[in-house]
Structure 1
Amino acid sequence: MRLPALLATTLALTCAAPALAETPAAPGIEAVLAADIRADDRARDQYRHPVETLAFFEVEPGMSVVDFMPSGGWYSRVLIPYLGAEGSYIGLNPDVGTEGGPGFFAGMRETASRFPAQAQGWVGDNGAAVIGANIGDEAIEAMAGSVDRFLIFREIHNIRRLGWFHDVATTARTLLKDDGLLGVVQHRARPDAPASYVLGDKGYQREEDVIALFSAYGFDLVGKSEVNANPADPADWEGGVWSLPPSFGGAPEGSEERARRAEIGESDRMTLLFRKRP
Structure 2
Amino acid sequence: MCSFLAVLPVLSAVAQTPEQWRERLTVLAENPKRGAAHLHRNQYRNPVDTLMFFGLEPQMSVLELWPVRGWYTEIIAPFVKDQGQLTIAHFRQDGVNNLDERSAFWARLSARLEQRIIQQADEFGDVGRVALDPPNFIPVLAPDQFDMILSFRNVHIWHQRGQLLATMQTLFDVLKPGGTFGMVEHRAARVTDLTSYAVEGYTDEAFLISVAERVGFQLVASSEINANPKDTKDYTKGVYTLPPTLALGLENRDAYLAIGESDRMTLKFVKPLEQE
| Bucket of the pairwise TM-score, normalised by the shorter protein | 0.7 to 0.9
For the residues of structure 1 that align with 2:267 and 2:72, how far apart are their CA atoms? 17
8 Å contact from structure 1 (residues 190, 206) kept in 2: yes
Identify if the C-alpha distance between structure 1 residues 108 and 247 changes in structure 2 by more than 3 Å, giving closer, same or farther.
closer
The equivalent residue for 1:119 is 117
What amino acid is aligned across from residue 29 of structure 1 in structure 2? L
For the residues of structure 2 that align with 1:268 and 1:250, how far apart are their CA atoms? 19
User: Cα distance, 1:107 vs. partner?
Assistant: 6.0
Identify if the C-alpha distance between structure 1 residues 108 and 64 changes in structure 2 by more than 3 Å, giving closer, same or farther.
farther
The equivalent residue for 2:212 is 214
Identify if the C-alpha distance between structure 1 residues 169 and 93 changes in structure 2 by more than 3 Å, giving closer, same or farther.
farther
The equivalent residue for 2:248 is 250
For the residues of structure 2 that align with 1:114 and 1:248, how far apart are their CA atoms? 22
For the residues of structure 1 that align with 2:244 and 2:50, how far apart are their CA atoms? 20
SS in structure 2 of the partner of residue 105 of structure 1? helix
For the residues of structure 2 that align with 1:115 and 1:131, how far apart are their CA atoms? 12
What amino acid is aligned across from residue 240 of structure 2 in structure 1? W
- Segments of 4+ moved more than 3 angstroms: 93-97, 100-118, 193-198
| Counterpart among 73, 78, 88 of residue 75 in structure 2 | 78
5+ unaligned residues in a row in structure 1: which ranges? 1-23
The equivalent residue for 1:49 is 46
Identify if the C-alpha distance between structure 1 residues 95 and 218 changes in structure 2 by more than 3 Å, giving closer, same or farther.
farther
- Two-structure CA RMSD over aligned residues (Å): 2.9
For the residues of structure 2 that align with 1:113 and 1:240, how far apart are their CA atoms? 27
CA distances 1:21-62 after superposition (whole Å, capped 9, x unpaired): xxx627811221232331231000000000000001001112
How many residues are aligned here? 247
2:233 is aligned with 1:235: yes
What amino acid is aligned across from residue 29 of structure 2 in structure 1? L
For the residues of structure 1 that align with 2:113 and 2:39, how far apart are their CA atoms? 22
For the residues of structure 2 that align with 1:271 and 1:71, how far apart are their CA atoms? 20
For the residues of structure 2 that align with 1:98 and 1:82, how far apart are their CA atoms? 34
8 Å contact from structure 2 (residues 68, 110) kept in 1: no
For the residues of structure 2 that align with 1:211 and 1:242, how far apart are their CA atoms? 23
SS in structure 1 of the partner of residue 63 of structure 2? strand
* Higher alpha-carbon deviation: 85-94 or 106-115: 106-115
SS in structure 2 of the partner of residue 41 of structure 1? helix
TM-score normalised by the chain length of structure 2 = 0.79
The equivalent residue for 2:255 is 260
User: Cα distance, 1:109 vs. partner?
Assistant: 6.3
User: Cα distance, 1:235 vs. partner?
Assistant: 1.3
SS in structure 1 of the partner of residue 56 of structure 2? coil
| Structure having the larger proportion of residues in helix | 2
What amino acid is aligned across from residue 33 of structure 2 in structure 1? I
User: Cα distance, 1:136 vs. partner?
Assistant: 3.6
User: Cα distance, 1:95 vs. partner?
Assistant: 6.2
For the residues of structure 1 that align with 2:129 and 2:249, how far apart are their CA atoms? 37
What amino acid is aligned across from residue 162 of structure 2 in structure 1? G
The equivalent residue for 1:60 is 57
User: Cα distance, 1:63 vs. partner?
Assistant: 0.9
8 Å contact from structure 1 (residues 95, 136) kept in 2: no
8 Å contact from structure 2 (residues 151, 182) kept in 1: yes
Q: What is the correspondence of 1:140-155 to structure 2 with a 5 Å cutoff? A: 140-141=141-142, 144-155=143-154
User: Cα distance, 1:110 vs. partner?
Assistant: 11
Identify if the C-alpha distance between structure 1 residues 227 and 196 changes in structure 2 by more than 3 Å, giving closer, same or farther.
closer
5+ unaligned residues in a row in structure 2: which ranges? 1-11, 16-20
